Chain A
Amino acid sequence: MFLKDYFNDIAQAVGSLLSGMRRTGYYFTHHKEIITEQYPDNRATLVLPERFRGEVVMPHNGQNEHRCTGCTACELACPNGTIKIVTKFELNAEGKRKKAVDAFVYHLELCTMCNLCIQACPTDAIKMAQSFEHSVYDRSQLTKILNKPESKLQEGVE
């Protein structure tokens, strides 16, 4: 039936257009849905999406201990050579020589925030922070050492 299809088309078109207008009309009348952040003005109350990735950090606990074993899985996973791990050998409690991280060198200027290093880490030693105001006057300031001085491997992390 040609006429039936014709009017069906019109009814469907009107229905879909009206549903679109209902959505925009809802947004027009509900201003609390607005997602714009007035950024430099609202530094204190800035709301970032949960999955926003700003830089790689290594959390340390109260006793200045981190969870990095120096296994270099993140270094291998990194596609553009952002991470460089310098290892050293330490004597543990039983007097055995054991590999440990000396310096976790992180080149922020090379990082693309791809999250592969975080996925590769077997001990959850590193994670993505949400800080994003990284601009500095000298490029060398972007090369960071993530493990704090004098920090140790957390007890029980292999």
Chain B
Amino acid sequence: MWSFSKLTDLIHAWLYETFSPAWALALEMVMVGVAAIGLFAMLGLVLVIMERKVSAYMQIRLGPNRVGPKGMLQSLADTLKLLVKEGMTPNGVDRVLFNLAPLVAMIAAMLLLAPIAFAKDFQIWDLNIGVLYITAISSLNVIAILMAGWSSNNKYSLLGAMRSGAQIVSYELSAGLSILTIVVLSGSLQISDIVTSQSNGWWIFKGHIPAIIAFVIFLIAATAETNRAPFDMAEAESELTGGFHTEYSGMKFALFFLAEYINVFVVCAVGATLFLGGWMPLHIGSLDWFNHAMDYIPSSIWFFGKTFFLIFVMMWFRWTFPRLRIDQLLTLEWKYLLPIGMVNILLVTVIAILKWHF
């Protein structure tokens, strides 16, 4: 089987032969960092053009179609424009926090990449509490938003940031509960264990209806956690001019923008890993000829295919549904998603104890 792990093993062995262990480790870290930043840049370009094209087709428009073939270089041109724009810091802002906030947003998004399995045996850090790590780090994002809103010294920014705080704190609960259902089913917090536990079928198929309910709740909570429409209370163009990034321009704004898309990618990658089997190909129980046929598709293609499918679903949500008011948003969470999630996790626990899942 063709795999990334052979390449990484080769590099690893060569580094440890040539350099002392400390230097080899440092070099590996640098390589991983460069790869992560490269992935970020690629993701930013691809997801922005994807968002614009998907939104255009859903609204019976054409979308960007002038720069490059079929407009595919539009986001590259936009990035260039943002890079050369002046990174302005308005008078009256808290300079340190104002300039720090985009970096914190970026760093929080970057840290989330560590435990994600991109392909078979291709993972930055397979720590034994991977799922807990993801839920913990993803709540750091709200600190960046609060920081930006507070330091901007602008009432719109502050309102947007406060709303975003209320929203992320509440939706983390249902996201956590729906993640927990898979942890209960697979019996492990480690990402690689969760993926291997799906080698005879993905959890969304194996876990009966409760897994599907958990998946739906996870999708809704993930959309809310990444501050995307229909839950874009933090930005709220129509009432808060731009929410927490009203005062930002140039590259600092671009960092927030990029962090949002990285968060979308990471959240969808986590959803794909937990519910749709991560890099695991589509396997049906003990149907061997089918499983072998599916194994011929590389695991990285499975992972990115599932992740981009979930990203597409989130874009579909965004360009279909009307925005919620802040009170409707919190009603949805506290009156509907959370009680259903709690009952659901009870059901899943019963299923897991009695081994009713396949």
CB <8 Å contact, B57 and A31: yes
CB <8 Å contact, B321 and A20: yes
CB <8 Å contact, B316 and A10: no
CB <8 Å contact, B336 and A28: no
Neighbouring B residues of A10 by C-beta, 8 Å: 336
Tell me, yes or no, whether A35 is within 8 Å of chain B by CB.
yes
CB <8 Å contact, B61 and A17: no
Cβ-closest chain B residue relative to A13? B336
Neighbouring A residues of B62 by C-beta, 8 Å: 34, 36, 38
A-B contact pairs, 14 of them (CB 8 A): A10-B336, A17-B320, A20-B320, A21-B317, A24-B58, A25-B316, A27-B58, A27-B59, A28-B316, A34-B57, A34-B60, A34-B61, A34-B62, A36-B61
Neighbouring A residues of B60 by C-beta, 8 Å: 27, 33-36
User: A31, A33, A36, A38 — which one has the most chain B CB atoms within 10 A of its CB?
Assistant: A36
Interface residues of B (CB under 8 A from A): 54, 57-62, 316-317, 319-321, 336
User: What 1/0 flags go to A14-45 for Cβ under 8 Å of B?
Assistant: 00010011011101100101111010000000
Neighbouring A residues of B61 by C-beta, 8 Å: 34-36
User: A17, A25, A34 — which one has the most chain B CB atoms within 10 A of its CB?
Assistant: A34
CB <8 Å contact, A28 and B321: no
Given A17-B321, A34-B61, 20 more A-B residue pairs with CB atoms under 8 Å apart are A10-B336, A17-B320, A20-B320, A20-B321, A21-B317, A23-B320, A24-B58, A24-B319, A27-B57, A27-B58, A27-B59, A27-B60, A28-B57, A28-B316, A31-B57, A34-B57, A34-B60, A34-B62, A36-B60, A36-B61
Q: Give the residues from 21 to 79 in chain A that come closer than 8 angstroms, CB to CB, to chain B.
A: 21, 23-25, 27-28, 31, 33-36, 38
Q: How far is the CA of A21 from the CA of B58 in the complex (A)?
A: 10
Cβ-closest chain A residue relative to B313? A21
Neighbouring B residues of A28 by C-beta, 8 Å: 54, 57-58, 316
CB <8 Å contact, A21 and B336: no
Q: How far is the CA of A27 from the CA of B54 in the complex (A)?
A: 10
User: A21, A23, A28, A34 — which one has the most chain B CB atoms within 10 A of its CB?
Assistant: A28
Neighbouring B residues of A20 by C-beta, 8 Å: 320-321
B58 shortest CB reach to chain A, Å = 4
CB <8 Å contact, B57 and A21: no
Q: Give the residues from 85 to 106 in chain A that come closer than 8 angstroms, CB to CB, to chain B.
A: none
A interface residue count range (under 10 / 10 to 19 / 20 to 34 / 35 or more): 10 to 19
Q: How far is the CA of A28 from the CA of B320 in the complex (A)?
A: 11
Neighbouring B residues of A24 by C-beta, 8 Å: 58, 316, 319-320
Neighbouring A residues of B317 by C-beta, 8 Å: 21
Cβ-closest chain A residue relative to B61? A36
Cβ-closest chain B residue relative to A34? B60
Q: How far is the CA of A21 from the CA of B336 in the complex (A)?
A: 21
Neighbouring A residues of B321 by C-beta, 8 Å: 17, 20
Neighbouring B residues of A23 by C-beta, 8 Å: 320
Q: How far is the CA of A17 from the CA of B289 in the complex (A)?
A: 39
Neighbouring B residues of A34 by C-beta, 8 Å: 57, 60-62
User: A17, A24, A25 — which one has the most chain B CB atoms within 10 A of its CB?
Assistant: A24
Neighbouring A residues of B57 by C-beta, 8 Å: 27-28, 31, 34
Neighbouring B residues of A27 by C-beta, 8 Å: 57-60
Cβ-closest chain A residue relative to B66? A38
A26 shortest CB reach to chain B, Å = 10
Q: How far is the CA of A20 from the CA of B54 in the complex (A)?
A: 15
Neighbouring B residues of A17 by C-beta, 8 Å: 320-321
Neighbouring A residues of B316 by C-beta, 8 Å: 21, 24-25, 28
User: A17, A23, A27 — which one has the most chain B CB atoms within 10 A of its CB?
Assistant: A27
Q: How far is the CA of A10 from the CA of B59 in the complex (A)?
A: 27
Neighbouring A residues of B336 by C-beta, 8 Å: 10
Cβ-closest chain A residue relative to B317? A21
Q: How far is the CA of A23 from the CA of B321 in the complex (A)?
A: 11
Q: How far is the CA of A33 from the CA of B58 in the complex (A)?
A: 10
